Amino acid sequence: MSTNPEKLNEVLELLEMYPSEKERIDLLVDFAEKFKEVPPEIAKRPFAEENKVPFCESGAYVWTVKQPDDTFKFYFAVENPQGVSAKALSAILDKTLSGENADTIKNIPEDLVYRIFGQSLSMGKNIGLAGIVQMIKRNVQSTTYNMQR
């Protein structure tokens, strides 16, 4: 049984329904087109280095905001206009993880990027995209740790 949020499982199941690489790429491009950049009330350029995802070739940034109901809202920026994979992943993470609690987010599987994009990613791209997921988890862990102190 999966510990993923229901919305994330729905996206993963949708991706599994498209066995060909071209169909999966088309679906991921659709997600990338739904990408919404961080609103100016959260962050303005130039973005703080502390929000920059290490090793991401697309220049991705992540903001984690704890909500009053103890859930989280995630915001993203992708500086490279050609960063379709980073935009697709960011749109998926916002759609499926925003509104979830810390325990759920901390249990997101380590192989999430692989499950979304399959085997076709270069090592560099895979490391950068995995960094986006890791930054979300780290930010949530840090937020909950600091609140317990």
- From 53, 13, 34, select the one nearest 137 (Cα to Cα): 53
pLDDT score, position 145: 62
User: Position 12: which residue type?
Assistant: L
pLDDT score, position 78: 98
In terms of Cβ atoms closer than 10 Å to its own Cβ (0-12, 13-18, 19+), residue 89 is buried
Assess if CATH 2.40.50.140 describes domain 6-148: no
Residues of the chain below pLDDT 50: 148-149
pLDDT score, position 143: 85
pLDDT score, position 137: 97
pLDDT score, position 149: 42
CA distance 115 to 112: 5
State phi, psi for 65 to the nearest 5 degrees. Answer: -120, 120
Task: State the distance between the two ends of the chain, measured CA to CA, in whole angstroms.
Answer: 33
pLDDT in tens, 90-100: 999 999 999 99
